Structure 1
Amino acid sequence: MKHSLPILLTMMAVPALAEETRELDAHEHGVGELNIAVDGETVAIEFHAPGADIVGFEYEATNEEDLAAIETATSILSNPLDLFVFPDTAGCSVVSASAELDTEEDGHDDHDDHADEHHDEHSDDHDEHGDDHAHKEHKDEHADEHHDEHDHEHAHDEHADEAGHTEFHAEYMLTCATPSAISAIELAYFATFPNARELVVQVVGANGASAFEVERDAPTLDVSGLF
């Protein structure tokens, strides 16, 4: 996706946000991010949320049910004014909207390289041990190495189970006839997605920048005076 308005760069340039916004743990389930930037009558919104918050899982979808859930969620996320409700008096409408599911995978190619190196070392060591006694010692050493490698592979498999996080990412462009009328935004997002607990919100407007943490039991974002 292309940023029609560089929201994140704009926000990063505002020191107040860096001071006020908490630092999110990497991929914190239940917690999404919402960035809003207002420039004249243009409102740009960027949204991120873990896959578990939106569809209830983060593994790679392969069956029809899971694929259908992702398709439905992407369709819902493509209608921003149903999720983030602006006052009618602001006269906001959608110019563009896009949503997609991103997969974050950890690379482990070095594991294969390590296996190849181990195989080569094993071949060289085997040539150096010609007698039975040396061969026995080599077998014992190899057993220990194999055990260690097995533990490494087991740890690698466990790590692989934890890898492959998914995240929904959406970008919206709105136009609002009267931006100054945007005093609050109702986050219907929480009612739509029961697994969502919190949104960390950054807002940049003509009158400054602010950061918020909005929870599902109080789903109203007060932005009075910012636009």
Structure 2
Amino acid sequence: MRSASAHQHGTSAVEIAVEGNEIQMQVFAPGADIVGFEHSATSDEDRQAIDAALEVLSYPLALFGPPDAAGCSVAHATVSMASDMADAGDDHDHDHDSPDDHDDHDDHDDHDEHGDHDDHDGHDDHAGHDDHDDDHAGEAHLEFVATYHLECARIGAVDRLALTFFDRFPNAQRLEFTILSAGGADTASAQRGDASISLDFDG
């Protein structure tokens, strides 16, 4: 599985696994691509942007549309926010049925755990601290993680996905797909301006 810390601005990763008539999808998108920033929400405007993005991400068929002939429906969709800092512990789940769950994001004051840094003797002299700077001074880089479970009446008809992801998120530039099916593993990519991506689940 892809590591949340491996993200790069402009590029989101999409993992697709097909089994029987079911499609499991996971989308990993840098916060900068989705809401234009990766820091913790610090204002009402930030929180509104995050809530709006979580709502949009909760509807996978409006972002990655299989052909109507496939008869696909959403069995479950969950969106969360994760940090690429190890042990950050600030994940926020946003279930499709519970948009108000994301109010927990206001509890991001936990981020003041920087107070623990004060106990870090020698931290002020920055000796050997260059590596920390390379990690953006330990700041968490937020990432959106969406998990989708689709059920399709005719999985063989899913030969492509219409892409409106780029229309919804203007900062996103590229999608990298990893596709696992009975036919084996495959990769594909799409860039801003691409209307769809071709799929071959039969190998």
* TM-score (ref. length: structure 2): 0.75
1:35 aligns with 2:15: yes
Query: Which deviations, in whole Å up to 9, do the C-alpha atoms of 1:73-131 show, x marking residues without a partner?
Result: 01110100000010000000000001011123368867733349xxxxxxxxxxxxxxx
Partner residue, 1:112: 119
Question: Residues 71 and 153 of structure 2 are in contact (CA less than 8 Å); yes or no, is this contact kept in structure 1?
Answer: yes
Q: Rg: which structure is higher? A: 1
Q: Which runs of 5+ in 1 are unaligned?
A: 1-7, 13-22, 117-148
CA-to-partner distance for each residue in 1:155-175, whole Å, 9 max, x for gaps?
667855562100000101010
Report the alpha carbon displacement of residue 218 of structure 1 after superposing the two structures with TM.
Answer: 2.0
Aligned CA RMSD, in angstroms, stands at: 3.1
Flag the structure with higher strand content: 2
Q: CA deviation at 1:225?
A: 5.3
Q: Secondary structure at the match of 2:39?
A: coil
Identity %: 37
Amino acid at match of 1:205: S
How much has 1:213 moved relative to structure 2?
A: 1.7
Distance change >3 Å, CA 39–CA 25, structure 1 → 2: same
| Aligned partners of 2:163 and 2:194 also within 8 Å | no
- Return the alpha-carbon distance in structure 1 between the equivalents of residues 119 and 54 of structure 2: 36
In structure 2, relative to structure 1, the CA distance for the partners of 1:225 and 1:153 (3 Å cut) is: closer
Confirm whether residue 204 of structure 1 aligns to residue 180 of structure 2: yes
Spell out, residue by residue over 1:117-155, the C-alpha distance to the aligned partner (whole angstroms, 9 max, x if none): xxxxxxxxxxxxxxxxxxxxxxxxxxxxxxxx5455996
Number of equivalent positions: 175
- The answer to whether the 8 Å contact 1:97/1:171 transfers is yes
**Structure 1 residue aligned with 2:169:** 193
Q: Which has the higher helix share?
A: 1
- Quote the Cα distance in structure 2 between the aligned partners of 1:173 and 1:158: 37
* Structure 2 residue aligned with 1:213: 189
Structure 1 residues 43 and 113 mapped into 2: Cα distance closer, same or farther (>3 Å)? same
Instruction: Name the TM-score, length of structure 1 as normaliser.
Output: 0.67
Inter-partner Cα distance in structure 1 for 2:4 and 2:169: 20
1:225, 1:157 → 2: CA distance? 43
Give distance in 2, aligned partners of 1:49 and 1:85. 18
